[in-house]
Amino acid sequence: MGDVVGFRKRRRSRSRRRGLLETPWLIPALVVMAVAGFYGRDAISDATGLGLISNSSVAAGRGSFRECYTPLDRTCVIDGDTIRLKGEKIRLLDIDAPEVRDYKCASEKERGDRATLRLVEILNSGTVSIERKGSRDVDQYGRSLRIVQVDGRSAGGILVAEGLARPWSGKRRPWCL
């Protein structure tokens, strides 16, 4: 007799779980949320016609670039020398900017944050062109190596002139003294 009661209790809990999954609105709602999370943030950016084609200009509408918040963000600024354009990671070939994640000191983090925000402003200020240059196409982390220009000016060069980055010398140097 005790087995029958235990069986009924287990059966009831299973039916509750099954009932939740069989709710007619749950699965469609989860699908809509997943699609909106993946595409929704970049729908405006993608509508402006951004695309990565080497040695070409792409029109960047105002506000097309912003800071990256999740790995699902497709067009955004990761840090002062790395962007994501339609899902492709691009490393600005001509500069080295301070780190915002694996920083060695507070001043490096602070300068890296300023470089990131400034790069967002620069990229949103005009027509962005992406140019392949040199023999290396991809770095050790799988990022495309490109010169990024806005209205004919190097985005990296602007950061260097403002003291938020330095010219790339071929190797990383410390930002902390």
Would you state the pLDDT for residue 29? Answer: 62
- Greatest pairwise CA separation for the chain in angstroms: 84
Q: Are strands 144-150 and 88-92 parallel, antiparallel or unpaired?
A: parallel
- Which residues fall within 8 angstroms of residue 46, CB to CB, at 6 or more apart? 39, 74, 75, 86
pLDDT at 59 over 60: no
The mean predicted confidence, pLDDT, of the chain is 78
Confidence bin at 52 (pLDDT 50/70/90): very low
Q: Point out the catalytic residue in the list 84, 99, 118, 146.
A: 99
What are the pLDDT digits (tens) for 79-93? 999 999 989 999 999
Q: Point out the catalytic residue in the list 74, 84, 91, 114.
A: 91
Mean pLDDT of 110-125: 96
pLDDT at 58 over 80: no
Q: Known catalytic residue: 88? A: no
Would you state the pLDDT for residue 107? Answer: 93
Confidence bin at 32 (pLDDT 50/70/90): low
CA-to-CA separations, 138 to 73, 123, 142, 170, 172, in angstroms, rounded: 21, 21, 6, 14, 17
Dihedral pair phi/psi, residue 147, rounded to 5°: -90, 125
Would you state the pLDDT for residue 100? Answer: 92
Q: Are strands 88-92 and 166-167 parallel, antiparallel or unpaired?
A: unpaired
Q: Point out the catalytic residue in the list 74, 111, 114, 143.
A: 143
Q: Known catalytic residue: 41? A: no
pLDDT at 46 over 50: no
**Listed residue (121, 119, 120, 99) closest to 110, CA to CA:** 99
d(CA 75, CA 77): 7
Q: Known catalytic residue: 143? A: yes
User: Looking at the domain 49-167, which fold is it?
Assistant: OB fold (Dihydrolipoamide Acetyltransferase, E2P) (2.40.50)
Q: Could you tell me the sign of the dihedral formed by the alpha carbons of 20, 26, 27, 30, in that order?
A: negative
Task: Report yes or no: 128 and 148 within 8 Å, Cβ to Cβ.
Answer: yes
